[in-house]
Amino acid sequence: MVATRDVQEEQNDHFNEDVNAAPFLEDEDDDDDEGLDAEAEIELGFVSNVEEEHLSGAYVNWDGGKVGGQPVWLDPSVNIEVPCECGVNMSFLLQIYCPLDTPPQAFHRSLYVFCCRTRGCSKIGHARVFRVQLPQKNAFYSEKEDDPTRKQPEYLKAAKQCAVCGLKGIFACSACNIAQYCSKVHQKDHWKHGHKQDCPASAQQKKLIESNAEAIRLNGTPFVFPEYSIHIEHEPDRSIAQNESEARMMQAFEQASLNRTEGNDVFTDDSEIDLSQKDIAKMLGTQAQDKTYVGFLTRVALAKDQVLRYSRWDDEEPVLWVHSQDKPTDIPCCSICHGPRRFEFQIMPQLLYHLKLSTELTTLKDQEVDWGTLVVYTCPQSCSAKDKDVDIVEEFVWRQSPHDQEV
């Protein structure tokens, strides 16, 4: 899943180039896990602070994954709008690098997720996902990972992309004629967050100056999420831990449900449950007894900080649903080959904490962004876009509502 191409090539040998195999970050002691072969292998994503080499913005430094900031396109010629049904561009949420050996057009392959954060929109928290891919031989990157002359697409910032969100810019700042914007709203926000001071220097140096970039990267803005790196680990072996944890949590859940009074958190009086799990329960809501929800908390307890779960096209479709309601009944087929899409990864509610959303908002109408989980389904054929200069295809993402907003 999320790794540099040279790491993937070493590990693909273990899977005999089967693109439908389990994710490629493989344990060395697989011989000890023969009894678990029927279990889907899961990779977990965790966020960490942005490393210094990522600050250049070059894609070759981001070819693992990232949260927030602006999208760093695998193909730097990508220049699109991502509107929600409300008509406002969605905010970039995250991207992951998940290449394939076959088909050849997906040798380099990345997925980009955007979500609506427009207050008052009925689709707030809903998302769109796009797949961008390139063959091994392309105009931007060397065919060999360790090539010292490997190209980096420097013209990425020269494209007409919004200085705030990184999506398609449709007009420029009238003063410097350098900063591009997708809307007047983003232009006003950029002026407020530093361009007022940077505009003269941008005009003089004929390039966009961003003196406030570090603060925005750390804290975000109303239109840009804070920026993080994504690193990947295997999900811990739950063959023993799950049985003990699930039994304890189920007992606590049922006992608390009996004693529960209206408005109280199910886990409030249970001293046996770790505080971090109380936090997760509070975030998701606990209005009804639901064994799917208990199973969710149990599984998450093995790695409570996970923000992403990845298991590409596994036959078991190992989605970790937050609750038993609001699941998709019909996944749209691929718009190109018309074949079925399959589960590839899901975004967890723990990511919401890292997005530093407004905490003073209390009503559902005013709430900024929320979800139980965002579940991404993609075409296993990784079809190429037809009649387009850029190989970018929209895939499908399902938003399961939070537990306290069950449909």
Q: Which residue has the higher pLDDT, 26 or 124?
A: 124
Instruction: For residues 360 and 247, state if they share a domain.
Output: no
Instruction: For residues 253 and 136, state if they share a domain.
Output: no
Q: Residue 122: its pLDDT value, please? A: 84
Q: Residue 40: its pLDDT value, please? A: 66
pLDDT, mean over the chain: 78
Q: Which of 303, 329, 351 is the last residue of a domain?
A: 303
**In this structure, is residue 184 part of a structural domain?**
no
Mean pLDDT of 270-284: 50
CA 354 – CA 356 distance, rounded (Å): 5
CA 108 – CA 132 distance, rounded (Å): 8
Question: Cβ contacts of residue 32 below 8 Å, gap of 6+?
Answer: none
Residue 393 has pLDDT above 60, yes or no: yes
Instruction: For residues 130 and 59, state if they share a domain.
Output: yes
Instruction: For residues 282 and 322, state if they share a domain.
Output: no
Taken in order 247, 249, 251, 254, the sign of the CA dihedral is negative
Instruction: For residues 275 and 310, state if they share a domain.
Output: no
Segment among 5-19, 114-128, 249-263 with least mean pLDDT: 5-19
Radius of gyration, alpha carbons of the chain: 22
Q: Which of 268, 287, 303 is the last residue of a domain?
A: 303
CB atoms within 10 A of CB 74: 28
Instruction: For residues 45 and 139, state if they share a domain.
Output: yes
Instruction: For residues 370 and 383, state if they share a domain.
Output: yes
Structure tokens at 219: 């804290």
Query: The domain containing residue 289 runs over which residues?
Result: 241-303
Instruction: For residues 71 and 120, state if they share a domain.
Output: yes
Q: Residue 385: its pLDDT value, please? A: 86
Q: Residue 114: its pLDDT value, please? A: 98
Residue 36 has pLDDT above 50, yes or no: no
151-172 pLDDT, tens digit each: 555 544 446 899 999 999 999 9
Instruction: For residues 100 and 117, state if they share a domain.
Output: yes
Q: How many domains does the chain have?
A: 2
Instruction: For residues 146 and 52, state if they share a domain.
Output: yes
**In this structure, is residue 392 part of a structural domain?**
yes
Half-sphere exposure of 42 (CA within 13 A, CB side): 24
Q: Phi first, then psi: what are they for 295, rounded to 5°?
A: -60, -35
Q: Residue 92: its pLDDT value, please? A: 97
Mean pLDDT of 160-189: 94
Residue 110 has pLDDT above 70, yes or no: yes
Residue 85 has pLDDT above 80, yes or no: yes
Q: Phi first, then psi: what are they for 279, rounded to 5°?
A: -60, -45
Q: Which of 303, 318, 339 is the last residue of a domain?
A: 303
Mean pLDDT of 265-291: 51
Mark 228-259 as b/e (b = at least 16 C-beta within 10 Å): bbbebeebeebeeebeebbeebeebbeebeee
> 67 pLDDT band (50/70/90 cuts)?
very high
Note whether 181 and 172 are within 8 A (CB). Answer: yes
Taken in order 327, 119, 181, 197, the sign of the CA dihedral is negative
**In this structure, is residue 168 part of a structural domain?**
no
Q: Which residue has the higher pLDDT, 362 or 196?
A: 196
Q: Which residue has the higher pLDDT, 56 or 342?
A: 342
197-250 pLDDT, tens digit each: 999 999 999 999 999 989 999 999 999 999 999 999 988 876 655 555 555 655
**In this structure, is residue 162 part of a structural domain?**
no
> 390 pLDDT band (50/70/90 cuts)?
confident
> 341 pLDDT band (50/70/90 cuts)?
very high
Residue 262 has pLDDT above 50, yes or no: no
**In this structure, is residue 202 part of a structural domain?**
no
CA 138 – CA 4 distance, rounded (Å): 17
Q: Residue 41: its pLDDT value, please? A: 81
Q: Residue 237: its pLDDT value, please? A: 75
Instruction: For residues 254 and 356, state if they share a domain.
Output: no
Q: Could you give the C-alpha distances from 108 to 233, 282, 309, 384, in angstroms and in order?
A: 21, 39, 20, 12
CA 88 – CA 176 distance, rounded (Å): 25
**In this structure, is residue 210 part of a structural domain?**
no
The share of the chain scoring above pLDDT 90, in percent, equals: 46
Most confident range, picked from 69-78, 246-255, 274-283, 390-399: 390-399
Instruction: For residues 113 and 91, state if they share a domain.
Output: yes
Residue 8 has pLDDT above 60, yes or no: no
Mean pLDDT of 89-114: 94
Note whether 72 and 54 are within 8 A (CB). Answer: no
> 58 pLDDT band (50/70/90 cuts)?
low
> 30 pLDDT band (50/70/90 cuts)?
very low
